[in-house]
Structure 1
């Protein structure tokens, strides 16, 4: 009889699947971030997650360094998990078939229906091979996107983002994007206060702007070439006001066309898409941390009307503002949807 892997029944159980040759940084990211999440966003609060590392068979797992990782658990951990995270492996870098190796397929078959499954870096190759990404949007490390697209044409590959969220299946880009993905899952589970506390104690940004397009090698710009950070700082101080593309470009003394190009190079998105994202993030904070009516939240964030806020919120998060507030603050009389 298989030994019980998780020992705290009340906590969300995260199983991390490690395969040879693994990147230790990815394993550390998952344990560090989920391990820091505490009830009430307090260092003294009860841990919200229990994390267990597993492999296809217990024992030492090779890494890309000069050491191995001793993994105590086999694939039985996958059968008990509420979230499964598949790390990258050297096997993914050389994969030339869309089929899963039999031992890996048997291990993934242990995952219960409805369990959340995520991948870091090229771990997306595993999820795609298992058919979990068919018809969904996914990402992986930019160096392997061409091969990924060739092997898995039924997956909607987005090579520019840091992570994707299709509800029960999530993917991230390069290994450090695992930080963004884990913080996103913590934020989705427990709100911005808990995720922000984890980010602060881990000394990482709670949310990184842009996508992995900003990390792809390009010609180095002239030393004197201006950036767009002043325009972003200016906009963040007045999100409640109408802000035009022309105003942003004027803050940097650029033409709209030149500003838009530089902005995309630096952030991986258009100026107005970035502005909408910042307004949605502010709306999330206000919905979680205040009793402000939705109409007031819409005005405070520059999204205008409650209807406009609902539309943007549903597009970005898949829920209404009232449903989001209920999830992260609980229902209360007098709150408007």
Structure 2
């Protein structure tokens, strides 16, 4: 974790919550060699009535598998030593994760050219203006393009971290991590290299009870017609209300819940792909494989080999 003068405390804390926790045997989650470093070890001035004291220099990034850039207030000034460290880490294959205003550091390092990226909604226009070769997405929580992850700001740092946790360690570990920090489990959607938004939890304004019912009855008929009838609405009104409250269509939301359930069954059981497809509502293995590959970028069999047990 790279911190600099003017470190923004909430953005830093959201990353520490996921990657910096000590062992919790009851969770069964991995423990990381988490280190905080800075260009000039010692006192790191803050802007929230307290400072940080950091003992490690940027040499700590030399062999890290994941290098995180914490957001800072003075984000248009870049330390050449930080840019060099980020480029070196990227060139040797490390995962680079910049959150909120830290994304501007990646632009200055030349790592956003041709890449899907995002930052806090206040700064997306500025990011696009300063780095015109970047493909800035202002309407998403985070982007994952190759080995670079960019987060939109504040609590989206947790969403992006849980996405990466799920990708590297599977659904069970990501869910246990989310439970420990008391947030809804992250569920990825969109394409494998670009996550459009985290699927919302079931606390929608008026559709919350229905969303919870869907999650508990994935094998049922969950067509728009059926769900609209259950909600006592016309199909058109239901579809409009659903998008307004969840940010996506009923079909997309249901599909992502089914993929999520399939992930957990692939990890926890040795049931056949056909059995899992029927259990989560896809009906047959071919349909499960299609949706699973579109969302996760790998087949159910590959996912099971990687994460089962």
Question: How far apart in 1 are the matches of 2:247 and 2:171?
Answer: 23
Corresponding residue for 1:11?
none
In the alignment, the residues of structure 2 paired with residue 242 and residue 155 of structure 1 have an alpha-carbon distance, to the nearest angstrom, of: 42
Aligned equivalents of 1:299, 1:44: Cα separation in 2: 29
Residues 243-275 of structure 1: per-residue CA shift (max 9 Å, x gap): 111222333333333333332232222222111
Residue in 2 that maps onto 1:102: 80
Shift of 1:278: 0.8
- Contact kept? 2:165, 2:174, Cα under 8 Å: yes
Tell me, yes or no, if the aligned pair for 1:239 and 1:302 is still in contact at 8 Å.
yes
Deviation at 1:64, TM superposition (A): 3.0
Deviates more, 1:255-264 or 1:71-80: 255-264
Partner of 1:19: 4
SS in 1 for 2:53: strand
| 1:17 counterpart SS class | coil
The equivalent of 2:218 in structure 1 is: 239
Aligned counterparts of 1:256 and 1:21: Cα–Cα separation in 2: 51
Q: 2:44 aligns with which of 61, 81, 85?
A: 61
Q: Which position in structure 2 is the counterpart of 1:170? A: 149
Residue 11 of structure 2 is aligned to residue 32 of structure 1: no
* Residue in structure 1 matched with residue 249 of structure 2 by the alignment: 270
Change (3 A) 1:212 1:124: farther
Match for residue 90 of structure 1? Answer: 73
What TM-score comes out, normalization by structure 2 length?
0.86
Question: Does structure 1 conserve the Cα–Cα contact (< 8 Å) formed by 2:187 and 2:199?
Answer: no
After superposition, the Cα gap between the structure-2 partners of 1:169 and 1:269, relative to the gap in structure 1 and judged at 3 Å, is: same
Please give the alpha-carbon distance, in whole angstroms, between the structure 2 residues aligned to 1:199 and 1:119. Answer: 20
Query: Are 2:277 and 2:283, in contact at CA under 8 Å, matched by a contact in 1?
Result: yes
User: What's 2:191 paired with?
Assistant: none
Query: Whole-Å Cα distance in 1 between the matches of residues 133 and 275 of structure 2?
Result: 42
Runs of 4 or more, structure 1, over 6 Å off, are none
Structure 1 position 81, deviation (Å): 0.6
- Partner residue, 1:295: 274
Q: Could you tell me how far 1:115 is from its partner in structure 2?
A: 0.6
1:131 paired residue among 98, 102, 110: 110
| 8 Å CA contact 2:100, 2:119 repeated in 1 | yes
Gaps of 5+ in 2: 189-195
Does residue 195 (structure 1) correspond to residue 174 (structure 2)? The answer is yes
The alignment yields a C-alpha RMSD, in angstroms, of 2.6
Q: CA deviation at 1:76?
A: 0.8
Offset of residue 87 of structure 1: 1.3
In 2: Cα distance, 1:275 partner to 1:42 partner: 33
Does residue 253 in structure 1 map to residue 253 in structure 2?
no
Q: How many residues align?
A: 297
User: Equivalent of 2:207, from 228, 231, 243?
Assistant: 228
SS in 1 for 2:13: helix
CA distance in 1 between counterparts of 2:122 and 2:198 reads 11
